[in-house]
Amino acid sequence: MTSSVRTVEAAPDQSTESQYNFAYLDEQTKRMIRRAILKGIAIPGYQVPFASREMPMPYGWGTGGVQVTAAILGQEDTLKVIDQGSDDTTNAVSIRSFFEKTAGVKTTTATADASIIQTRHRIPEASLREDQIIVFQVPIPEPLRFLEPRETETRTMHALKEYGLMHVKLYEDIARNGRIATTYAYPVEVNDRYVMDPSPTPKFDNPKIDEMAALQLYGAGREKRIYAIPPFTKVKSLDFDDHPFEVQKFERPCGLCGAANVYLDEVILDDKGGRMFVCSDTDYCEERREAGHLGDMAADPAAVSLTTSTAGQDAS
Amino acid sequence: MTKRLSLKSVGKSFQMHLQGGLTLPVVTNVELEVFSGECVVLGGPSGAGKSSILKMIYGNYRCDEGQILIATGENGETVLDIAKAEPRRMLSLRSNTIGYVSQFLRVIPRVSAEDVVAEPLIAQGADEKTAVNKARDLLTRLNVPNRLWTLPPATFSGGEQQRVNIARGFITNYPMLLLDEPTASLDAANRAVVVELVEEKKASGVAMLGILHDLDVRERIADRIVDVTNFKQAA
Amino acid sequence: MSDMMNDEPLLRVSEITKLYGNRIGCQNVDFELWPGEVLAVVGESGSGKSTLLNCLSTRLEPTSGMIEYRMRDGVFRNLYKLTEAERRLLMRTDWGFVHQNPADGLRLAVSAGANVGERLMAVGQRHYGQIRDTATDWLERVEIAADRIDDNPRAFSGGMRQRLQIARNLVTHPRLIFMDEPTGGLDVSVQARLLDMLRRLVADLGLAVIIVTHDLAVARLLSHRIVVMRHGNVIETGLTDQVLDDPREPYTQLLVSSILQV
């Protein structure tokens, strides 16, 4: 109970193997997806169409990410799945158990131990390494769709590198809010060529995808698109000369582990207005607490109940 | 004196397709010359084709036969045939060589009287201030009340509109002016102003060809009168 | 206008024909357009004037014929031999297109300022303050109050929308503007204001314009030259007042005589 970091050992000879192909998808489908991934890596930021399959989960629950993960997963891999930074929310738990069941691979919540990290809406705070791959679940891959609903037109715009419209969106933001108010799915230009939606991660994470050591793969199941950013690729967040890109700043560090310069979630503690801000990356937060870092609210009974109740959920 | 305009064997007829293709002859074999510094007046009864001749020279009407030669350029050294001029050429002649003072103002919505008057001079390259000042001078001379200058002429009385248009016609520095009954329905005072304006133009070497029904004015400004009935087709 | 004689044409149109199956859209259309010249294409519905406009503006490939445009570098290019990228760049920089229905030419989801600024951002302007200043300036030039810059065009009247569409097109200082019945669907008083504004802008900016209209009064007020179309053919062409004052063809005479005199 003290630590929720746990690694489930691989179980290659589980009985489920006979009923499912390794990692659920059939080999032909995986090859098709791998070809799309390879093309995506070859053309950083370009949205490659692929024949997305029906998965045993609803659209919006990460069907794109799951297919990408299934296609790249090997028996020696260790998988981590996060949803909004947390290993323990429903979406993360169900995808993790999906692969435990259908592939029998090792799973982990420790970022450093994972070879593949599937994520919805966050990038771990710890720097990723060259031997890791991060898979993003993407709802709407087309960043231009906000202003140009015609797919034929947006494809032409990508082909001709006509990205003025992306700035129209940012202009509109400033005009209405006095600053670029887009805080997530903040558009980026990859390798000086394609403009890309980095999935609904907070723009706080945008600097992490620039020159990232790990390979980034993005899968959109409903929209049937895969795109990728190879390791160490230049990724620039779009902005104006007089309104440069900047990330959110938090006024105080994490209440539990005292980490500064991390992305925080607000947690409501009671119905009397009590609240605290804690790391959205739960694994990072736990690691820090284990290493002895304590935030100013770590001793608060409400905070204690928060950490224990989270751990309690794991056991179920 | 240089020859500014000459019409050679000019003929014009209208074919009225809406009246079963009826052909209406207007004029034929028009021979006419206008020199710089003179005012030639076309004579003859209504329907004799005076207006049509002016309109052919200005390019509003096509010229079916003959030549309409106009001397243009700095010193009138280039002679062009209006009868064969392509539209661009005609437009350029209108912007630098031939002015038209007609009776009727084609009102342009929302443009003030002084701007209506100043416009042709600005088109000739004058700066806006000079042009507007000159426009105000002319409007003053033609007794258009000061309070009307900044209003669009659409709501002016007939006489006021006409005077605005006369000012518009006389403001320019064209070497050739066509006068299409500029004094019709003007009172004596304003008629006298028009006579003055014509005299000033003559003095500066402008060639003028006009239609003037007003015998008194015609007497005073016409150097020659050409009777258009001579150009009627022998029926 | 005075230096017009020395220029080369901006657009050369040779023998343009567009067939829809064996029906004629437009046939053997030939003309040249010079810088600063306003050409009105008139005719009734179905006369082929919109087909011609679409062919000229590279929105509809003609069945045969050639359209050449003098690019900003002075070189004539066959419009249908341009690459897609060149064509699109031309359309959003050196050209404009004013649609009859402003909704077709505007982005109704974004503010007036963003509508005007879009072309600037498309050609790489990345300074918000400057884009906004330019947009403000253009809004004022089309008589839209500067404090409406952040309003959505959905909140604008028809006439304002049309003026916004015009500003959006002019912001890159194009040399050629296509207009498809720009005053159609507007109240008479709104039309008059728009026409006057167009007339001034065209003269001030030295724009070449090809305007399609069925309204001869619009043609009279704005254009230097007229092309009369009927059944897909150009039946009469010439100086605007010459065609309107001395129409030669039976159809043109009918058209001119059908105008209500006010």
Mutation for A interface: C84, C107, C128, most A CBs within 10 A? C128
Nearest-5° Cα angle at B98, B97 to B100: 155
pLDDT value for A191: 97
pLDDT value for A315: 37
C25, C48 contact by CB (below 8 A): yes
Coil, strand, or helix at residue C244?
Answer: helix
Task: Mark yes or no for CB contact B18/C254 under 8 Å.
Answer: yes
Distance from the Cα of C20 to chain B's closest Cα (Å) equals: 31
* From B59, B92, B109, residue closest to C242, measured CB to CB: B59
Instruction: Give CA–CA dist C28/C187, Å, rounded.
Output: 36
C near A: at least 3 beta-carbon pairs less than 8 Å apart:
yes
pLDDT value for A12: 53
pLDDT value for C135: 97
Share of chain A above pLDDT 70, in %: 91
Distance from the Cα of B225 to chain C's closest Cα (Å) equals: 27
* A242 → chain C, closest CA residue: C127
Instruction: Give CA–CA dist A110/A306, Å, rounded.
Output: 20
* From C34, C239, C253, residue closest to B17, measured CB to CB: C253
- C56-76 per-position pLDDT tens digit: 999 999 999 999 999 999 999
Task: Mark yes or no for CB contact B61/C196 under 8 Å.
Answer: no
For residue C221, list chain B residues with Cβ-Cβ distance below 8 A: 108
pLDDT value for B103: 66
C198 is a domain residue = no
C153 is a domain residue = yes
CB atoms inside a 10 Å sphere around CB B214? 18
pLDDT grade for A316, boundaries at 50, 70 and 90:
very low
B8, B171 contact by CB (below 8 A): no
Q: Is A241 on the interface with C (CB under 8 A)?
A: yes
Integer Rg of chain C from CA: 18
pLDDT value for A298: 80
Task: Mark yes or no for CB contact C246/B123 under 8 Å.
Answer: no
Whether the per-residue pLDDT at B76 is higher than 80: the answer is no
* From A162, A167, A176, residue closest to C150, measured CB to CB: A176
C49 is a domain residue = no
Closest C-alpha among B207, B115, B130 to residue B168: B115
pLDDT grade for A268, boundaries at 50, 70 and 90:
confident
pLDDT value for A312: 39
C120 is a domain residue = yes
Averaged over B191-201, what is the pLDDT?
A: 93
Share of chain A above pLDDT 90, in %: 77
Nearest-5° Cα angle at C148, C146 to C152: 145
For residue C239, list chain B residues with Cβ-Cβ distance below 8 A: 59-60, 87, 90-91
In which residue are the tokens 């692929």 written?
Answer: A50
Averaged over B201-209, what is the pLDDT?
A: 95
pLDDT grade for C262, boundaries at 50, 70 and 90:
very low
Averaged over C250-259, what is the pLDDT?
A: 88
- A283-298 per-position pLDDT tens digit: 999 999 999 998 888 8
Instruction: Give CA–CA dist C113/C153, Å, rounded.
Output: 10
pLDDT value for C1: 42
Domain count, chain C: 1
Indicate the burial class of A85 (C-beta count within 10 angstroms; 0-12, 13-18, 19 or more).
Answer: buried
pLDDT value for B107: 62
Averaged over C9-32, what is the pLDDT?
A: 96
Coil, strand, or helix at residue C203?
Answer: helix
Residue C186 to residues B115, C139, C177, C200, Cα–Cα distance (Å): 26, 19, 20, 19
Q: At what angle do helices B188-203 and B128-141 cross, to 10 degrees?
A: 130
pLDDT value for C142: 95
Task: Mark yes or no for CB contact C253/B16 under 8 Å.
Answer: yes
Closest C-alpha among A26, A35, A61 to residue A221: A61
Instruction: Give CA–CA dist C208/C51, Å, rounded.
Output: 19
- A170-210 per-position pLDDT tens digit: 999 999 999 998 999 999 999 999 999 999 999 999 999 99
pLDDT grade for A223, boundaries at 50, 70 and 90:
very high
Least confident of A173-177, B144-148, B231-235, C80-84: B231-235
Calculate the CA dihedral of residues B53, B57, B60, B64 and round it to 10 degrees: 70
pLDDT value for C15: 96
C135 is a domain residue = yes
CB atoms inside a 10 Å sphere around CB A181? 11
Instruction: Give CA–CA dist B122/B171, Å, rounded.
Output: 10
Please report the ipTM that was assigned to this predicted complex: 0.90
Give the predicted TM-score (pTM) of the model.
0.88
| Distance, C-alpha A236 to centroid of its chain | 18
* From C199, C245, C249, residue closest to B61, measured CB to CB: C245
Closest C-alpha among B50, B26, B13, B53 to residue B232: B26
C168 is a domain residue = yes
Phi-psi category of residue C61: left, alpha or beta, with phi > 0 → left and psi -120 to 50 → alpha:
beta
Domains of chain B by residue range: 37-62+88-232
pLDDT value for A313: 43
A208, A237 contact by CB (below 8 A): no
Coil, strand, or helix at residue A67?
Answer: helix
For residue A242, list chain C residues with Cβ-Cβ distance below 8 A: 127-129
For residue C196, list chain B residues with Cβ-Cβ distance below 8 A: 108-111
Residue A292 to residues A169, A257, A258, A259, A268, Cα–Cα distance (Å): 44, 8, 10, 12, 25
Residue C235 to residues A282, B65, C28, C214, C231, Cα–Cα distance (Å): 78, 21, 11, 15, 9
CATH of B37-62+88-232, one of 3.30.420.130, 3.40.50.2300, 3.90.230.10, 3.40.50.300: 3.40.50.300
Instruction: Give CA–CA dist A285/C191, Å, rounded.
Output: 66
pLDDT grade for B120, boundaries at 50, 70 and 90:
confident
Averaged over A202-230, what is the pLDDT?
A: 97
Helical ranges in chain A per DSSP H: 27-42, 63-72, 90-102, 151-159, 164-177, 206-209, 282-290, 301-315
For residue C111, list chain A residues with Cβ-Cβ distance below 8 A: 172, 175-176
Closest C-alpha among C130, B117, C85 to residue A243: C130
C141 is a domain residue = yes
Averaged over C23-44, what is the pLDDT?
A: 95
Q: What share of chain C is helix, strand, coil (3-state, %, to 5)?
A: 45, 25, 30
Domain span at residue C150 reads 106-173
Whether the per-residue pLDDT at A309 is higher than 90: the answer is no
For residue B123, list chain C residues with Cβ-Cβ distance below 8 A: 1-2
pLDDT value for B224: 93
Q: Residue B195 is encoded by which pair of tokens?
A: 């006579």
C219, C198 contact by CB (below 8 A): no
Averaged over A153-178, what is the pLDDT?
A: 95
Least confident of C118-122, C170-174, C183-187: C183-187
pLDDT value for B46: 85
pLDDT grade for A301, boundaries at 50, 70 and 90:
confident
Under DSSP, the state recorded for A21 is B
Mean pLDDT of chain A: 90
β-bridge pairing A106-107 and A78-83: parallel
* Phi, psi (deg, nearest 5) at residue B224: -145, 150
C162 is a domain residue = yes
Q: Is A171 on the interface with C (CB under 8 A)?
A: yes
